[in-house]
Amino acid sequence: MPTTVGEFRADGETPLTMLTAYDAPTAAACERAGIDAILVGDSMGNAALGYDSTLPVTVDEVASRTGAVARATDETLVIADMPFLSFGVDEAESLHNAGRMLKEAGAHAVKLESGSHTVDLTERLAELGIPVMAHLGLTPQKVNQLGYARQGTSREAASEIVDLAVAHEDAGAFALVLEHVPANLAARITDELSISTIGIGAGKNCDGQVLVANDVLGLGERIPPFAESFGDLRGEMETAIADYVDAVEDEEFPADEHSHVESDLDDLY
C-alpha cells in the first residue's frame, strides 16, 4: 500500500482502490482490507454528521476526522478533503487550512474540488510540499449550481474538463478524481495524463476507483446509481441493537458472567 503520493500510481495491471472513512475503526478496517488510500471526504456531512449536503462541513470537522483516521493507520495514504469555502477565497487562508491537514491532523495530502480557480492554488500548494489530489466532473460543493447531474456530456463541457485535467497535472497535482462523467471521457483523460485517475461513476478505464464507505458497507438508505453495496451493515446494526434492547428488557443481560461480586463487601449491605 502506498504511504507517499509518489507511490500512489497504478502499475498497469491492478487498479488503485480508495474509500472514504471518517473514524478510526473504519480506517483500521480499510487498512486491514488492503485499501490503497483513504479519503476523509467532506461527504461526512451527509454520511456521518447529519447534514443535508457537504456545504456545512467545517475545516475543524475535517481536521478532527482526519486525525482519527491518521492515528488508526500506518501504511495507507490518508487524503483530507478541503470543505466548501476553506479554499479559493483568500490564498493565505487556503494555504493555512490545507497545511493544517498535514501539520496538525496527519494527512499525507489534500483533495480540492477543482476548476479554473484552483490551478494556481494547486501549484502553490505543491510548491509548499502539500500534495494535491484534484477533482473534476461532478463537484458536490457546487450542488446549488449543478445539482447532482452527470457532467461532461456535451463536447464543449467534455473539452473543458480535459483542459482542466491537463492544467492541474501541469500545476503539480499527483492524482485526479473524476466523478459522474461519461466513461469514454474518463478513458480519454486517463490516456492523456501521466498522473493516476480515480473514478467514481466514471467507468472502469480509470487507474483506480473510489466510493463512499456508507455505500460500500450498506449503511445508507439509498445509494447513487454508480455505486454498489457490498454488505448490509445497516441491517446488521439494527438487528444487534434490537437484540440488546430485548436482552435488557427481558433481564437476560447482564448475566452472571458479566458481573462480579466482592464477598468482602457483603457486610456493607
Catalytic residues: 179
- 111 marked as binding residue: yes
Cα distance between residue 261 and residue 233, in whole Å? 37
Q: What residues form DSSP beta bridges with 175?
A: 133, 196
Helices 183-192, 155-171: crossing angle, 10 deg rounding: 30
Buried b (16+ CB within 10 A) or exposed e, 113-129: bbbeebbebbbbbbeee
Cell numbers at 221, concatenated: 438508505
* Residues contacting 78, CB < 8 A, separation 6+: 27, 37, 38, 40, 66, 69, 70, 106, 107, 108, 109
- 42 marked as binding residue: yes
- 43 marked as binding residue: yes
Determine the straight-line distance between the first and last CA of the chain, rounded to whole angstroms.
59
For residue 20, give the nearest of 35, 5, 2, 4 by alpha carbon: 35
Cell numbers at 182, concatenated: 461519461
- 229 marked as binding residue: no
For residue 165, give the nearest of 150, 149, 181, 154 by alpha carbon: 181
Residue 251: CB atoms within 10 A of its CB come to 8
Cα distance between residue 13 and residue 167, in whole Å? 27
In the annotated binding site for Mg(2+), the residues are 42, 81, 113
In the annotated binding site for 3-methyl-2-oxobutanoate, the residues are 42-43, 81, 111
In the annotated binding site, the residues are 42-43, 81, 111, 113
